[in-house]
Chains A and B, each alone.
Chain A
Amino acid sequence: MIWTVARQELLRAWRKRTFRVVLALVTLLLLSAFTLELLRQRGERQQREQLQAQVSEEWKQQPDRHPHRMAHYGSFAFRPPSALGFLDPGIEPFTGSSVYLEAHKRNPPNFSAAAESSELVRFGRLSAAFVLQLLLPLLIFCMTFDSIAGERESGTWALALAQGTAVRTLVFGKLLAALLALALWVLPVLVPAFLLQGFDVRSAILLLGYALYLSVCACIGVLVSALHTRSHAALASLLCVWVACWVVLPRVAGELAVRAHPVPARSSMEAELAHASHAKGNGHGRNSPEAIALTNSTLARYGAARVEDLPVNMNGMLSQLGEQHTSALYDDYYKRVYTQQRAQSATLLRWGALSPVLLMRTLSMAVAGSDSDRYADFLEQAEAHRFGFIKELNDVHAKHLRYEAHDNLQRASSANWQGFAPFVYRVPALHEQPTSWHHAFVALSAWFALALIGLATRREVRS
Chain B
Amino acid sequence: MRLARLELLQLLRTRSVPALLALFVTLSVLAVFAGNERVAQERAVMAEREPFLEEQAAHLTQKHARDLGLLLYYFALPTEHVPNAWTPLATGLRDVHPFSQHLRLLSLTPQTYASELGSPLRQLAGSFDYAFVVTFLLPLLVIALCFDVASRDEALGTALLLRSQATPRRHVIALRLAMRAGLAFAAAASSFALAIAITRLPLDLRALAWLGVLALYAAFWASLCGVIAAFKQSSQWSALIAIGTWMALCIVLPAAANGWLDGTRTQGGIALTLRQREILNAGWDKPKPITMEPFLRRRPEWASTPIPEHAFSWPWYYAMQEVADLAVEDELAAHRAEAERAERWTSRIASLLPPLAVQRALTRLAATDLEARLAQQDSVARHHERMKEFFYPAIYNDRKVAEVPFADVPRHSFTREPGAPRADELVGLLALSLFSAFAAAALARRFDLA
Decide: B121 and A257 in contact? CB cutoff 8 A.
Answer: yes
Q: How far is the CA of A118 from the CA of B78 in the complex (A)?
A: 25
Decide: B121 and A372 in contact? CB cutoff 8 A.
Answer: yes
A126 touches which of B122, B259, B274 (Cβ 8 Å): B259
> What mask results when residues 234 to 249 of chain A are scored 1 for a CB within 8 Å of chain B, else 0?
0110010001000110
Instruction: Give every chain A residue within 8 A of B56 (Cβ-Cβ).
Output: 274, 278
Q: What is the interface residue range for chain B against chain A? A: 35 or more
Decide: A123 and B155 in contact? CB cutoff 8 A.
Answer: no
Decide: A255 and B122 in contact? CB cutoff 8 A.
Answer: yes
Interface stretch (choices B261-269, B297-305, B436-444): B261-269
A376 to chain B, nearest CB (A): 9
Q: What is the interface residue range for chain A against chain B? A: 35 or more
Q: How far is the CA of A250 from the CA of B118 in the complex (A)?
A: 18
A334 to chain B, nearest CB (A): 8
Instruction: Give every chain A residue within 8 A of B342 (Cβ-Cβ).
Output: 116-118
Q: How far is the CA of A231 from the CA of B59 in the complex (A)?
A: 73
Q: How far is the CA of A51 from the CA of B259 in the complex (A)?
A: 23
Q: How far is the CA of A394 from the CA of B88 in the complex (A)?
A: 49
Say if the beta carbon of B210 comes within 8 Å of chain A: no
Decide: A111 and B102 in contact? CB cutoff 8 A.
Answer: no
Interface stretch (choices B162-170, B181-189, B244-252, B390-398): B244-252
Say if the beta carbon of A254 comes within 8 Å of chain B: yes
Say if the beta carbon of A18 comes within 8 Å of chain B: yes
A73 in contact with B254 given A108-B116, A251-B125 (CB within 8 Å) = no
Chain B residue at minimal CB-CB distance from A25: B244
A118 in contact with B117 given A94-B123, A110-B273, A251-B126 (CB within 8 Å) = no
Q: How far is the CA of A340 from the CA of B120 in the complex (A)?
A: 11
Say if the beta carbon of A413 comes within 8 Å of chain B: no
Q: Name which of B76, B310, B345 has the most chain A CB atoms within 10 A of its CB.
A: B76
Instruction: Give every chain A residue within 8 A of B262 (Cβ-Cβ).
Output: 40, 93, 113, 117, 125
Say if the beta carbon of A305 comes within 8 Å of chain B: no
Say if the beta carbon of A271 comes within 8 Å of chain B: yes
Chain B residue at minimal CB-CB distance from A26: B252
Interface stretch (choices A96-104, A167-175, A181-189, A306-314): A96-104
Instruction: Give every chain A residue within 8 A of B102 (Cβ-Cβ).
Output: 267, 270-271
Q: How far is the CA of A73 from the CA of B277 in the complex (A)?
A: 7
Decide: A126 and B255 in contact? CB cutoff 8 A.
Answer: yes
Instruction: Give every chain A residue within 8 A of B136 (Cβ-Cβ).
Output: 247
> What mask results when residues 261 to 280 of chain A are scored 1 for a CB within 8 Å of chain B, else 0?
01101111011001100100
Instruction: Give every chain A residue within 8 A of B48 (Cβ-Cβ).
Output: 267-268, 271
Q: How far is the CA of A76 from the CA of B110 in the complex (A)?
A: 13
A40 in contact with B263 given A69-B281, A121-B93, A124-B251 (CB within 8 Å) = yes
Q: How far is the CA of A110 from the CA of B356 in the complex (A)?
A: 27
Decide: A110 and B96 in contact? CB cutoff 8 A.
Answer: no
> What mask results when residues 267 to 309 of chain B are scored 1 for a CB within 8 Å of chain A, else 0?
1011101100110010011000000000000000000000000
Q: How far is the CA of A337 from the CA of B52 in the complex (A)?
A: 22
Decide: A123 and B127 in contact? CB cutoff 8 A.
Answer: no
> What mask results when residues 199 to 239 of chain B are scored 1 for a CB within 8 Å of chain A, else 0?
00000000000000000000000000000000000111101
B331 to chain A, nearest CB (A): 14
Say if the beta carbon of B330 comes within 8 Å of chain A: no
Q: How far is the CA of A135 from the CA of B247 in the complex (A)?
A: 9
Decide: A18 and B274 in contact? CB cutoff 8 A.
Answer: no
Decide: B258 and A100 in contact? CB cutoff 8 A.
Answer: no
Instruction: Give every chain B residue within 8 A of A47 (Cβ-Cβ).
Output: 267
Decide: B274 and A115 in contact? CB cutoff 8 A.
Answer: no
A149 to chain B, nearest CB (A): 10
Decide: B255 and A124 in contact? CB cutoff 8 A.
Answer: yes
| Known pairs A94-B120, A254-B127, A267-B45 / 4 extra A-B pairs, C-beta < 8 Å | A74-B277, A123-B356, A262-B119, A408-B312
Q: Which 5 residue pairs across A and B have the least CB separation, nearest first?
A: A123-B254, A254-B125, A91-B120, A118-B346, A255-B128
Interface residues of A (CB under 8 A from B): 18, 22, 29, 36-37, 39-40, 43, 47, 51, 54-55, 58, 62-63, 65, 69, 72-74, 76, 90-91, 93-98, 100, 107-127, 130, 134-135, 138, 142, 145-146, 231-232, 235-236, 239, 243, 247-248, 250-255, 257-259, 262-263, 265-268, 270-271, 274-275, 278, 282, 284, 334, 337, 340-341, 344-345, 348, 361, 372, 375, 406, 408-409
